Amino acid sequence: MQFINLKSLELEESKTIEGVSVGLEGNSLYSWNISFAGPSDTLYEGGYFQALMKFPEDYPNSPPTFRFQTEMWHPNIYTDGRVCISILHAQDELNDQEPPETRWRPILTPEDVLISIVSMLSEPNINSPANVDAGIQFRDKPDEYKKKVRKLIDKALENL
């Protein structure tokens, strides 16, 4: 595995996430500290997020894990910070809702994972929520959802 310094990632439709910082957790090549700004034109804009990406010993044959260290409120993020998106699911995981081409493949890179995370923040999948309460609030009470997200972003910025 190679260490990659990500300064910015080009996204579809010329969207850019700038200020991505990647560093090693301890001295392990298999555990990365990731920091990035919230994507523009989303509820998470203005936020600064920290996460941990861990790679299994058989990477790239198996997907990394991604866990936010910053407290998050999002339908596709478990309350413990783990992210639930198809790109992080192994091919052999049983899930009828995800076609195999949307799951992890060895050709995918850490950049692909980060792009998927940013996309997930922009467009939650409420049909398969990891955080059911956030999914229901996002669908049924969007104003309350927005207030909660903003409150957590403000809290995270105070803790920097």
Catalytic residue of the set 84, 88, 153, 156: 84
Distance CA 88, CA 104 (A): 6
Would residue 84 show up in a list of annotated catalytic residues for this protein? yes
Name the residue among 55, 66, 81 with its Cα closest to residue 115.
66
Q: Residue 105: helix, strand or coil by DSSP? A: coil
DSSP symbols for 27-84 = TEEEEEEEEEEPPTTSTTTT-EEEEEEE--TTTTSS--EEEESS----TTB-TTSBB-
DSSP state, residue 114: H
Containing 136, the helix (H) or strand (E) segment is helix 132-140
Tokens of 69: 């260290």
The residues carrying an active-site annotation are: 84
